[in-house]
Amino acid sequence: MTLEGKLLISHPNCPKDSFFHRTIIYLYQHDNEKGSIGVILNKPSRYSIADICADHEIEFTGAYQPIYHGGPVNTNALVLLHTRDWSSTNSIFVSNNFRISSDTNMLKKIAIGDAPKKFRLFGGLSGWAPGQLLAELAGKWPYRPENSWLIADPTEELLFDQSYQKQWESALRLSSSQLFDQYF
């Protein structure tokens, strides 16, 4: 089963003290040999794109946009999830509609107004060792079913247009609808 390009939605019974409580992750790499990597879509940080640009001595005069916590792994990594209409020097296609970029040039381009139609910038990643994510999905020991994930195909609206406060509930509805559509 390939999960690349899918949404992982935290289970409604995920414990409130879990880092992943009420989170949605866009999974942009899934490989049984190498592991899986994604970014949390709905955890904004207190930093903005302007703050990150200033740290890199890049002048940014655009509108305020938050940086999102992508996850607890490699928290200094900057990852841009965006529409496919744009690319930077280190961009990869994840699916037919979305790309991931991760380089300093992307900040320079965005600062001068050369930006994707829609995007979110993340600091940090969410990662799984080989086989770990599939074990979580199956609820295999030491993982429990309530710590598992629901899966859905992303929509552009859910990824970029919805506020972080409403994304998780919208993702739950999307997952339920897609699961229902598989059977009827």
Give DSSP secondary structure letters for 116-144.
Answer: -SSEEEEEEEEEE-TTHHHHHHHT-TTS-
For the stretch 67-126, pLDDT in tens is 999 999 999 999 999 999 999 999 999 987 899 999 989 999 999 999 999 999 999 999
Name the 3-class secondary structure at 81: strand
Statement: residue 181 has pLDDT above 90: no
Q: Specify if 107 maps to a domain.
A: yes
Instruction: Give 65's DSSP letter.
Output: -
CATH number (domain holding residue 157): 3.40.1740.10
Q: Tell me if 88 sits within 8 A of 105, measured CB to CB.
A: yes
In a domain, 162, yes or no: yes
Q: Which domain holds residue 103?
A: 7-183
User: What is the pairing mode between strands 66-69 and 119-128?
Assistant: parallel
pLDDT category of residue 179 using cuts at 50, 70 and 90: confident
- Residue of 90, 92, 8, 85 lying closest to 42 (CA atoms): 8
pLDDT tens digit sequence for 22-61: 999 999 999 989 999 999 999 999 999 999 999 999 999 8
Per the domain annotation, does 47 fall within a domain?
Answer: yes
Question: Nearest-CA neighbor of 68 among 132, 127, 24, 128?
Answer: 24
Residue 2 belongs to a domain: no
Dihedral-angle region of residue 87 (phi above 0 means left; psi in -120 to 50 means alpha; beta otherwise): beta
Q: Rounded to 5 degrees, what are φ and ψ at 108?
A: -60, -45
Domain assignment present for 71: yes
Contact 142, 131 (CB under 8 A): no
Distance CA 133, CA 129 (A): 7
The 10s digit of each residue's pLDDT in 114-128 is 999 999 999 999 999
The total of structural domains in the chain comes to 1
The reply to whether 171 falls in a domain is yes
Q: Is the dihedral of CA 8, 9, 15, 16 positive or negative?
A: positive
Q: Cα–Cα distance between 146 and 68 in angstroms, integer?
A: 25
With left for phi above 0 and alpha for psi between -120 and 50, is residue 176 left, alpha or beta?
alpha
Residues of the chain with pLDDT > 90: what percent?
A: 80
Assess if residue 97 is contained within a domain. yes
Q: What is the pLDDT of residue 1?
A: 66
pLDDT at 117: 96
Instruction: Establish if 1 belongs to a structural domain.
Output: no
pLDDT score of 108: 95
